[in-house]
């Protein structure tokens, strides 16, 4: 099986809520393809370790990784994220709206 190869050199990608699961995979793939990445995560949900390890993985590829804590339900937080992306990278090429809400519950009790 051959892999599709693509070049994202010089691109900047932001994925919201992407320090773990699918969003993390998107960012790592983009970094492997040459992009610098930015990511948001919601503080207080135990994701700080995932954020730190994402930074280490991306930087080990020779790319930059900006992590910005943000509540994606708050416009002021999102404006801050965009300000930080602009300050660090000077632009944004790709936005992946990945943030979502994961509720872990007993499905037998759901209505």
**Higher confidence at residue 40 or residue 18?**
40
pLDDT for residue 3 is more than 90: no
Q: Find residue 69's DSSP bridge partners.
A: 41
**Which DSSP letter does residue 108 get?**
G
Which strand ranges, in their side-by-side order, compose the sheet holding 65-69? Answer: 65-69, 36-41, 12-15, 94-96
The token pair that represents 61 in the structure block: 């590829």
Tokens coding 94: 């790709």
Mean per-residue pLDDT for 90-111? Answer: 74
Label residue 68 by pLDDT band (50, 70, 90): very high
pLDDT digits (tens, 9 = 90+) for 40-49: 887 665 556 6
pLDDT band of 19, cuts 50, 70, 90: low
Confirm whether pTM is higher than 0.95: no
Gap between the Cα atoms of 36 and 20, Å rounded: 17
């Amino acid at each position: 099986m051959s892999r599709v190869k693509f070049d994202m050199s010089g691109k900047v990608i932001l994925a919201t809520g992407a320090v773990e699961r699918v969003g993390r995979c998107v960012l790592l793939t983009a970094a492997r393809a040459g992009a610098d990445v930015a990511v948001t995560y919601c503080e207080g949900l135990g994701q700080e370790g995932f954020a730190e390890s994402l930074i280490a993985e991306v930087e080990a590829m020779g790319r930059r990784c900006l992590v910005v804590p943000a509540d994606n339900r708050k416009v002021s937080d999102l404006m801050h994220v965009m300000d930080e992306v602009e300050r660090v990278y000077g632009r944004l090429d790709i936005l992946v709206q990945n943030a979502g809400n994961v509720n872990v519950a007993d499905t037998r009790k759901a209505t």
